[in-house]
Structure 1
């Protein structure tokens, strides 16, 4: 399989890297508090926010390999903005499952950078199980009333709208609703996550939304969430692979600069072997990230699930190995704020936990026999 970039993908990746190097350096990103409005406008100008959105809604009809190219660069730079949560997961969910009216209402603002949307689906004590939400949606004459709590809402503080999962008693199924973060009854407790994102704990008390806020027909919310999570995992694997590449580059540069016994540390064979081991793990992560991207449009749900969970498992394991090695090879400097190695280690650790950790995806693979349906459809 050919994983090389097309000319358009290379141009987009190069443009994004030049912007990061010239106008959005690490120190600026560190002080962005999880979001930069200027950077977000630039992403919209580059077309990054509309990659998964159809051309008729202001997007570019891009495929998963285009998303890989962007997220790989975003991961290399540890871009703090909700590129995956909003421009991949939320936009991809609406593009694939929203009605025509919903696509026209929500996709153009996302592509133009005017709307920031994220998923609110995780709940207390459920870990990564999203198929049995305790949040309830009660039907009323003018729409629905939502009551419940959502935890670990990725970029919750930044989002202007939330895609909330709830048990719809009238449909006896999980339904998804677009809820403005400023709607009456929505309270948000933001907090900084390990990777610098501003996540949130969201409480919904008697939140009224119109029927038009429900995505699709309200009976396939779990399957819709599955789609969004698969898109997010593939993008997160690509971002992690990019971060791994940059972390190894920084570690090699440090070993060439730092001297011991009158010569650079890079001259010591044992340390060179450790860098080689890190490079092997990085290449494995890149290959699996490509596999996840290629799986997005796979027609078989079981095989798609197997490929994506395998990628997340292996990329998470590679992230832990490379991150730990990088910190150790930097010595005492590896745990200081002076060098960016700590930023990358924390970001990779957070990415390993988001959208299912290694143990979760190992369980998914162990419980996915041949001929089984996908996770969402069997839940």
Structure 2
């Protein structure tokens, strides 16, 4: 299998690396995090100007027709720069639902707004007792004469306070944990009956707990089948998991480079600590963990083209397991090799570890996905 990037993909990598290299160092990030909502509208506009917000959409929709590899390239770069902007909830998840299940009318309304940076999205999926199970949904949508009425609560909705559109998973029939009876709705964030409680997360992003009380939407808000949307949800979330794996590889890559540079300058007993053989061995182990994570991220990316849904899901789950293990190891070693300064807010290495920890617990941690693989028979 050829893992070399094409000429267009190399240009994409150079473009995103160049943009973030000039506009997104750690000191600039500190300024962006203080802006309204915790991210920079100026950077979001620049991402739009370079076509990065339209990357996965078809050229007939105004996009560039990029695939999973192009998303991997962008997400790795976003990870290396610790980017705060809502690329994952808007382009990967919001765009994923529109591409995979949106109607012609929904695509015409929302995709241009994403591509040109006019609107952002948030995925309102997690509930108080749902843990990582996508089918555990108590938020309800009930029919009325004009459409649907939504009632319920969603928690830790990333970009939830700032998003223009909420993508909401709801139960339209059946019991709370049934595999069927699920729907996905596009809900304007300013709709009557929506209230939000916003807060910063440990990795510097912002999330919100969102309450829906008698929120009315029409049939045009429904994405796909309102009573059988779980396959669509699973497909889009697997794409999001794959994107998170790529972001984590970027985070780990930069963590290792930062740590090695620190080992070359930090002195103990009058010599750089990087000259100590035992610490060299630690750095080598970190490199091995990084390459294991990188290979599994690439595997998950290649799995996006698998025809067998189960095979694709198991590939993504396996990648998430390795990403979680490698991220924990590299993060812990990076902090320890930095010493006390690694625990401070002023040192960027701790921020990389925080983001890696949040990725580990987003859409299923290592233990959850290892159990999925085992129950799916992939370990036999």
TM over 0.5: yes
> What SS does structure 2 have at the residue aligned with 1:84?
helix
Listed as ranges, the gaps of 5+ residues in structure 1 are: 371-379
What is the deviation of 1:337? 2.0
Aligned equivalents of 1:184, 1:61: Cα separation in 2: 36
Kept after mapping to 1: 8 A contact 2:156/2:207? yes
**Aligned: 1:155 with 2:155:** no
**Which residue in 2 is equivalent to 1:210?**
218
**Aligned: 1:337 with 2:341:** no
**Which residue in 2 is equivalent to 1:237?**
245
Kept after mapping to 1: 8 A contact 2:182/2:230? yes
Out of 277, 285, 293, the residue aligned to residue 293 of structure 2 is 285
Kept after mapping to 2: 8 A contact 1:53/1:92? no
> What SS does structure 2 have at the residue aligned with 1:194?
coil
**Which residue in 2 is equivalent to 1:166?**
170
**Aligned: 1:220 with 2:228:** yes
> What SS does structure 1 have at the residue aligned with 2:204?
coil
What is the deviation of 1:163? 0.6
Out of 49, 55, 71, the residue aligned to residue 45 of structure 1 is 49
What is the deviation of 1:239? 0.5
**Aligned: 1:178 with 2:186:** yes
Aligned equivalents of 1:161, 1:143: Cα separation in 2: 18
| 309-318 or 114-123, which deviates more | 114-123
**Which residue in 1 is equivalent to 2:280?**
272
**Aligned: 1:301 with 2:335:** no
Kept after mapping to 2: 8 A contact 1:35/1:158? no
Aligned equivalents of 1:284, 1:351: Cα separation in 2: 17
TM-score if structure 1 supplies the norm length? 0.95
Aligned equivalents of 1:343, 1:108: Cα separation in 2: 33
> What SS does structure 2 have at the residue aligned with 1:31?
helix
**Which residue in 2 is equivalent to 1:100?**
104
**Aligned: 1:251 with 2:278:** no
What is the deviation of 1:169? 2.9
**Which residue in 2 is equivalent to 1:375?**
none
**Aligned: 1:260 with 2:268:** yes
Listed as ranges, the gaps of 5+ residues in structure 2 are: 175-179
What is the deviation of 1:217? 2.9
Out of 121, 128, 141, the residue aligned to residue 125 of structure 2 is 121
Q: How does 1:83-98 map to 2 (within 5 A)?
A: 83-98=87-102
Aligned equivalents of 2:49, 2:76: Cα separation in 1: 19
Kept after mapping to 2: 8 A contact 1:12/1:46? no
> What SS does structure 1 have at the residue aligned with 2:214?
strand
What is the deviation of 1:85? 1.4
**Which residue in 1 is equivalent to 2:140?**
136
Kept after mapping to 2: 8 A contact 1:122/1:153? yes
Kept after mapping to 2: 8 A contact 1:116/1:160? yes
What is the deviation of 1:56? 1.5
Aligned equivalents of 2:46, 2:164: Cα separation in 1: 19
- Coordinate RMSD, CA, aligned: 1.4
- 1:338–1:132 Cα change, 3 Å: closer
CA offset digits 1:66-116 (Å, max 9, x no partner): 111111111111111111111111101111111111111111111111111
CA offset digits 1:153-205 (Å, max 9, x no partner): 122122111110111139x6101110111110011111111111111111000
> What SS does structure 1 have at the residue aligned with 2:346?
coil
| 28-37 or 235-244, which deviates more | 28-37
Aligned equivalents of 2:228, 2:32: Cα separation in 1: 37
| 9-18 or 278-287, which deviates more | 9-18
> What SS does structure 2 have at the residue aligned with 1:127?
coil
Kept after mapping to 1: 8 A contact 2:24/2:81? no
> What SS does structure 2 have at the residue aligned with 1:190?
strand
Aligned equivalents of 1:141, 1:55: Cα separation in 2: 38
**Which residue in 1 is equivalent to 2:177?**
none
Aligned equivalents of 2:216, 2:90: Cα separation in 1: 23
